[in-house]
Structure 1
Amino acid sequence: MEQLLNEAIQRFNKKVDEDKKLEEELSGFRKIVQVEVEDGQWYHFILENAHVQQLNKGGADNPDIRVIASAETLTKLWSGELRAMKAYATRKIQIKGSIEDLLRLRKFF
């Protein structure tokens, strides 16, 4: 799971570098995102100024956004086999945070 998340972060950062509109939209945005895999693995990262710096093992003290899903669901999301909105609508993934944060986070998928 850690490798998958690191690959997703690299893809996201590359996408931001190639899309100036997205970079501008996320500029000044700082959020702590916690990923809770249902098998007990927790990770967190900081999205700051349109980029994710690094993935950290374990939970964060006060995450702004929590993403909760099984390893299978996360794998399908990042492979493109499952779309984020469908996963959310069918409750395969839970995302806890403000509406504004949720709308911005969808760009990660």
Structure 2
Amino acid sequence: MEPSIQTLIDKFHSRMDKDEQAREEVRPLKKTINIDLGTEYYSMKLENARISDFKPQMLDEADVTMITTPESLQGLIDGTLRPMKAYITKKISIKGKIQDLMFLKKFF
């Protein structure tokens, strides 16, 4: 999943580089994010409308932790699984504020 997540990060950066309104909307956010796929774990930091420190490990204390399977995450990435449907059907669970992830979803 690491290449797929990196592709999302690259897409996010491209959007932030091109869309000043989106960049200004995201700039105030400062978040740490964990992704727990059961067999794979990733973390990253969001600050100043940039994602940094993408690593294959979990942070001890993250603002948001997304727990799902590699298959469900791939569905979210390729658009075959909608975020709210995944959440309602428990294919994804969130520790932290789901509003943070829903807000960021519109930038991918």
Q: By the TM > 0.5 criterion, same fold? A: yes
For the 8 Å contact 2:37–2:69, the answer to whether it is kept is yes
For the 8 Å contact 1:5–1:55, the answer to whether it is kept is no
Letter in 2 for 1:2: E
Deviations 1:6-40 (A, max 9, x none): 111111111222222211111121110000002x2
Residue aligning to 1:29 = 29
1:108, CA displacement in angstroms? Answer: 5.1
User: What do you get for the CA RMSD once the two structures are aligned?
Assistant: 1.6
Compute the TM-score of the two structures, normalised by the length of structure 2: 0.88
- Structure 1 residue runs without a partner (length 5+): none
1:1-109 matches, cutoff 5 A: 1-38=1-38, 40-107=39-106, 109=108
For the 8 Å contact 1:43–1:56, the answer to whether it is kept is yes
- Structure 2 residue runs without a partner (length 5+): none
Length, aligned pairs only: 108
Stretch of structure 1 that moved more, 95-104 or 9-18: 95-104
For the 8 Å contact 1:36–1:68, the answer to whether it is kept is yes
* C-alpha distance in 1 between matches for 2:21 and 2:55: 28
Stretch of structure 1 that moved more, 69-78 or 88-97: 88-97
Letter in 1 for 2:57: G
Compute the TM-score of the two structures, normalised by the length of structure 1: 0.87
Segments of 4+ in structure 1 off by > 3 A? none
* C-alpha distance in 2 between matches for 1:56 and 1:72: 20
- CA 1:54–1:7 in structure 2 vs 1: closer, same or farther (change >3 Å)? farther
Letter in 1 for 2:72: T
Taking only the aligned residue pairs, the percentage that are identical comes to 37
For the 8 Å contact 1:66–1:95, the answer to whether it is kept is yes
